Structure 1
Amino acid sequence: MNTKFNEELFLTNETGRMLYHKYAEPMPIIDYHCHLQPVEIYENKEFEDLGEMWLRGDHYKWRAMRTFGIAEEYITGSASYHDKYLAFAEILPKLVGNPIYIWCALELKRYFDIDEPLCAENAEEIYQKTTRMIHEKHMTRRWCMEHSNVRLVSTTEDPVDDLRYHIALQKEEMFTRVITAFRPDKAMFVGLESFSAYLEKLAQVSGVAIDSFATMLDALEARLRFFQQTTGTTVSDDGIPHFTWADYTDAEIEEIFRKGRANIPLTDHEVDQYQSAFLYEMARRYNRNGYVMQLHIGTYLDANTTGVQRVGQSTGFDCADDQCSVTSVGELLNRLTIAGELPKTILYPLDGTKIETWAILAAGFCDNGTKAKVQLGAPWWFNDQAFGIQRQFEACANLYPVSLSVGMLTDSRSFISYPRHELYRRVLCNYLGQLIERGEYFSGEEAIRQVIEDVCFRNANEFFGFGV
């Protein structure tokens, strides 16, 4: 029985192994969607230890630790990173079949050249070894990105962010280019009590007096342009946990906006109307400012309200749902197409069981001379593991060309999560190798090389216009 990391991980056929090691493995990384903190990239501090590298801000691991009944003190609480690491190391061998097990194995191998499995018995020894290496090699945030051959990362910021750290980073010579994505969700959630206070902040930073839905859009577009002028970004990001298209008039939206600003309760239909108008109008602005619209679809946020109250949001209590229908997103794309203002769009459905229907929808809105104008995004969050990636390849190649995909992303808060790109590339090459060995693809090595290099790097670079 093998007890060391296997370099042929997920590569179960000879052709796939050749394709991965020869073509996919050397390709640089573009991580066009993540949640790294720009302040950390700017300050570029050396990590304290492996506990910090693994467990600081990683809700994937936090969720897993909770399932084993580990006390919150050793997850998000006051325990030291050393003690949190030891608690995590104890459960890691029990995460059989879970992507966290593979991610950790890849991270130990790629950053520390450790190929033995971590467990309670060797946890302290590996802790001491990795701590020495962190300090000997000065493993900082930027070191991790450069070591992983990451040529570009896009963080995610709210329109009210002043981008001070991005501005500072633009002045430095770095191996990795850092941009940001524009995420205006808080202006869409009109029913929240915080909506009015948020608009005050938006008005202040934009210099636009917000007294209507129309002027709020003006303020958002001003910030959209500021983001682009500051970092050269072409990336937007809208999270739509639930969305039902509802027709509206301008007068109705202005009245809904007035009520939301005054914290007057809204009906579900009014919220649907507002969100429909918001997404439509923001898409028009993305289009005319050269942005790609990314729609993250179907999150069930804050499912465990007790956990959220105790620990905070985005700490492992979010889930997946299917409240956002293909029909509603399709109507949004349809209205934009009718108006001639549909931007390049990437759809990220979180409900992986319906992936084929979303692929069909994306293909239905590709036209007008733009390659892959609307496409399916990488399998993300609960789907960014070997099964989810393989499922998407097999389901979607029948319905939308895999060769046009902009590839993988980390969607992560961790600076050592880049082996997720490696996992994706391994599964991709194994899938292609299977097709070739079954005789289902016989266009030759040069043709398949281009497909692999496009999916791993070139498609994202061209689609977003990064110029890396």
Structure 2
Amino acid sequence: MFDEELLLTNETGKKLYHKYAENMPIIDYHCHLQPQEIYENQEFQDLGEMWLSGDHYKWRAMRTFGIDEKYITGDSSYYEKYLKFSGILPYLIGNPIYIWCALELKRFFDIDEPLGPDNAEAIYQKTKKMIQEKHMTPQWCMTVSNVELVSTTEDPTDSLQYHLKIKQDPAINIKVISAFRPDKAFYCEKPVFPAYISTLEKAAATKIDTFAKLMSALEKRLIYFKELGTMISDCGIEDICFYDYQQSDIEVIFSKAVAGVPLTEKEKNQYKAAFVVEMGKLYYKHNFIMQLHIGTYQGANKSRENSIGVACGFDCTDDSTSIQSVGEILNRLTTAEQLPKTILYPLDASKVENFAVLAAGFCEGGTKAKVQLGAPWWFNDQVYGIQRQFEAVANLYPVSLSVGMLTDSRSFLSYPRHEMYRRVLCNYFGALIERGEYFSEEKYLKKMIENICYYNAKEFFGL
């Protein structure tokens, strides 16, 4: 049965969690929820929809068990997909999906028994009835989870129409903002780049025939996002190798990319380096936080991604982006005295310590934790990954300054991931205390835990 002392293996950790962390509000500063779904607030059909409509973590696990794609992303009903998923859940020992599902069943449906093929039908019927009786919707899930703010992720060309509608609706008490994510303008080598530039021209009402005008168009859209309350940016960097460049080089490369002319590896990297540096300057100018998600191998299984779709569970971790390349970007911005607040998210766990050292080297100017390591991300947002990051990074960058956890999720049931993070955090602190490695007054522990869970993010993002 579900145990309320989950992951709390020492008495001090239990005390710290229940006393200080358990009831803190959630600021989910990076996710992939759809603002249209938040606004329209439709009642969920069943647990199958809530769990499996867009969760590539579960899709990936189901494929490893040989489940046919029609029960994963195919046209089978959510009920059928739920039954297939329920059949494998008892066999996911050690996998975060098992704990996430247990937490979600407990927190949203008050179900503390383990789900498996034997009770799948009974739990399906019970949860379906509760969904109807409680009118479970996206906003209901967020309210029950004590969510104060979420930041979705949109392209610069997005109209943000649903963000505007949410903002104007007095019945919606949760603040919803959008992270400005210009990835499509970053990947100059992709075949869609020329068409995207045309789309951006229309959105910004600006002719884009030079790199300088590209930056001008993106600034116009950045200002538009800012006017709707956004202060966060994001860039997904699959890989980058910093090459020195002159502005004239980038103009030539941009012209070639827009014309669909193939670029050399050096040209791709020169463009990308210049792009991140120039966007960093814009973020500094407009007081945006720059988030860099680093080290993904997108669509490793190209044939399945081509037939099924992107963000469907075929991506993995990559180690091609060097610390030095990211460091040179930060150095260029520092030299120009235009380094914005920055969060680094390395997906390659073997580089977490190195990125922590890098971040600490660029903290200056009276801004607390100006450059910092982000929460364990994607494949690392599980108990082992969270614990590993605390233990590795605390030696190199103060854990007490962290802006805490995020969901990075497409699911409205994913907020217990914050709970899991908080449990691991308090257990980690408790272990240090019981080993005699920390013996300051409890008031400092209280402040650190509450800051990591909530107040640091509130301060860092200027909320």
| TM-score relative to the length of structure 1 | 0.98
- Structure 2 residue 3 is the aligned partner of structure 1 residue 6: yes
Partner of 1:348: 345
- Cα distance in 1 between the residues matched to 2:91 and 2:19: 34
Partner of 2:201: 203
- Structure 2 residue 173 is the aligned partner of structure 1 residue 175: yes
User: What is the deviation of 1:200?
Assistant: 0.7
Partner of 2:58: 61
Please give the residue correspondences for 1:272-283 in structure 2 after superposition, counting only pairs within 5 Å: 272-283=269-280
- Structure 2 residue 384 is the aligned partner of structure 1 residue 387: yes
Please give the residue correspondences for 1:195-344 in structure 2 after superposition, counting only pairs within 5 Å: 195-230=193-228, 232-344=229-341
- Cα distance in 1 between the residues matched to 2:257 and 2:188: 5
Instruction: Letter of the 1:228 partner, please give it.
Output: K
- Cα distance in 1 between the residues matched to 2:280 and 2:319: 22
Deviates further, 432-441 or 82-91:
432-441
Matched residue of 1:46: which SS? coil
Please give the residue correspondences for 1:103-252 in structure 2 after superposition, counting only pairs within 5 Å: 103-173=100-170, 174-230=172-228, 232-252=229-249
- Cα distance in 1 between the residues matched to 2:325 and 2:421: 30
Matched residue of 1:130: which SS? helix
Please list the CA deviations of residues 336-367 of structure 1 after superposition, one character each: whole Å capped at 9, or x if unmatched: 11110000000000011221101000000001
User: Among residues 36, 40, 47, which one is paired with 1:39 in the alignment?
Assistant: 36
- Cα distance in 2 between the residues matched to 1:192 and 1:401: 39
Percent identity between matched residues is 65
- Cα distance in 2 between the residues matched to 1:233 and 1:143: 23
Please list the CA deviations of residues 110-137 of structure 1 after superposition, one character each: whole Å capped at 9, or x if unmatched: 0000000000010000000000000000
- Structure 2 residue 376 is the aligned partner of structure 1 residue 376: no
Please list the CA deviations of residues 49-69 of structure 1 after superposition, one character each: whole Å capped at 9, or x if unmatched: 000000010000000000000
Instruction: Letter of the 1:278 partner, please give it.
Output: F
- Cα distance in 1 between the residues matched to 2:303 and 2:81: 22
User: What is the deviation of 1:172?
Assistant: 1.2
Matched residue of 1:238: which SS? strand
- Cα distance in 2 between the residues matched to 1:63 and 1:172: 37
Unaligned runs of 5+ in 1: none
Instruction: Letter of the 1:222 partner, please give it.
Output: K
Instruction: Letter of the 2:195 partner, please give it.
Output: A
- Cα distance in 2 between the residues matched to 1:376 and 1:148: 25
Partner of 1:416: 413
Partner of 2:82: 85
- Cα distance in 2 between the residues matched to 1:188 and 1:33: 19
User: Among residues 418, 430, 435, which one is paired with 1:433 in the alignment?
Assistant: 430
User: What is the deviation of 1:306?
Assistant: 1.0
Instruction: Letter of the 2:118 partner, please give it.
Output: E
User: What is the deviation of 1:309?
Assistant: 1.2
Aligned residues: 462
Q: Which runs of 4+ in 1 moved over 3 A?
A: none
For the aligned residue pairs, the C-alpha RMSD in angstroms reads 0.5
Instruction: Letter of the 1:28 partner, please give it.
Output: P
- Cα distance in 1 between the residues matched to 2:109 and 2:325: 47
Please list the CA deviations of residues 173-225 of structure 1 after superposition, one character each: whole Å capped at 9, or x if unmatched: 22211000000000011111111110111011111111100001000000001
Partner of 1:401: 398
Unaligned runs of 5+ in 2: none
| TM-score relative to the length of structure 2 | 0.99
- Cα distance in 2 between the residues matched to 1:175 and 1:430: 32
Instruction: Letter of the 2:144 partner, please give it.
Output: H
User: What is the deviation of 1:444?
Assistant: 1.3
Matched residue of 2:232: which SS? coil
- Cα distance in 2 between the residues matched to 1:460 and 1:175: 19
Matched residue of 1:85: which SS? helix
User: Among residues 11, 14, 17, which one is paired with 2:14 in the alignment?
Assistant: 17
- Cα distance in 2 between the residues matched to 1:140 and 1:191: 40
Please list the CA deviations of residues 25-77 of structure 1 after superposition, one character each: whole Å capped at 9, or x if unmatched: 01000000000001100110000000000001000000000000000000000
Matched residue of 1:82: which SS? helix
- Cα distance in 2 between the residues matched to 1:316 and 1:223: 31
Instruction: Letter of the 1:181 partner, please give it.
Output: A
User: What is the deviation of 1:171?
Assistant: 0.4
Matched residue of 2:351: which SS? helix
